[in-house]
Structure 1
């Protein structure tokens, strides 16, 4: 089973994403900020990260930059944010995101790109 780390300071968002991903057959681990996420990323292997932008301690951009500089397996990251400007997208991709989605996301907006990024083929 593929493991996804959801990084978001909002419990409601983590719960929403967890439910969608578990229903799609993924194992889910959560972190409430970039610092906690980085610790988890260095302790266990993940197949994909879902990263919020605005978080305390270490934001999504900082988390991705730190993660991409680690000597650790590099896997896809989807940045999910309420910020919708082109500049925000550009910053996300510069930090190491593979995809940028604007909240709120519908289940299919989350599951389809994850399946694509992870090479999970529809049955």
Structure 2
């Protein structure tokens, strides 16, 4: 079963992603900020990371910059998901190592399709 780490400071967003992704057959773990996400990535392997941009303590850009320097996250696909949707936001995300950038809100079918394509089929 593919494992996905959801890094977002909003509890309701994490719950929504968890519900959609578990229904699609994924194992999901959560982190409330970038620091917690990096700690979890050092403790266990993930097949995909979904990360918000705007978070306290460590934002998504800093998480990804530091994560790409860690052996545990160098090759893991990362999708940044944010309400920030300008071309400069996308460019910045790709510059720090994002594999894909999605604008919130993400529809359930889009989320499960992207996860399946990037983390592998689970069924």
TM-score, normalised to structure 1, is 0.95
Q: Which consecutive segments of 4 or more residues in structure 1 shift more than 3 A?
A: none
Q: 1: distance between equivalents of 2:56 and 2:24? A: 29
Please name the residue that 2:119 is paired with.
Answer: 118
- Alpha-carbon contact 2:80-2:98 (below 8 Å) kept: yes
Please name the residue that 1:90 is paired with.
Answer: 91
CA RMSD for the aligned pairs?
A: 1.3
| Structure 1 gap segments, 5+ residues each | none
Please name the residue that 1:54 is paired with.
Answer: 54
Q: Report the Cα offset of residue 117 of structure 1.
A: 1.4
Matched, 1:13 2:18: no
Please name the residue that 1:40 is paired with.
Answer: 40
Q: Report the Cα offset of residue 119 of structure 1.
A: 3.4
Deviations 1:2-36 (A, max 9, x none): 11000000000000000000000000000000000
Q: Report the Cα offset of residue 116 of structure 1.
A: 1.2
Q: 2: distance between equivalents of 1:71 and 1:27? A: 22
Aligned residues: 122
Q: 1: distance between equivalents of 2:46 and 2:120? A: 14
TM-score, normalised to structure 2, is 0.95
Please name the residue that 1:31 is paired with.
Answer: 31
Higher relative contact order (CA 8 A, sep 6+): 2
Q: 2: distance between equivalents of 1:106 and 1:72? A: 29
| Structure 2 gap segments, 5+ residues each | none
Matched, 1:78 2:90: no
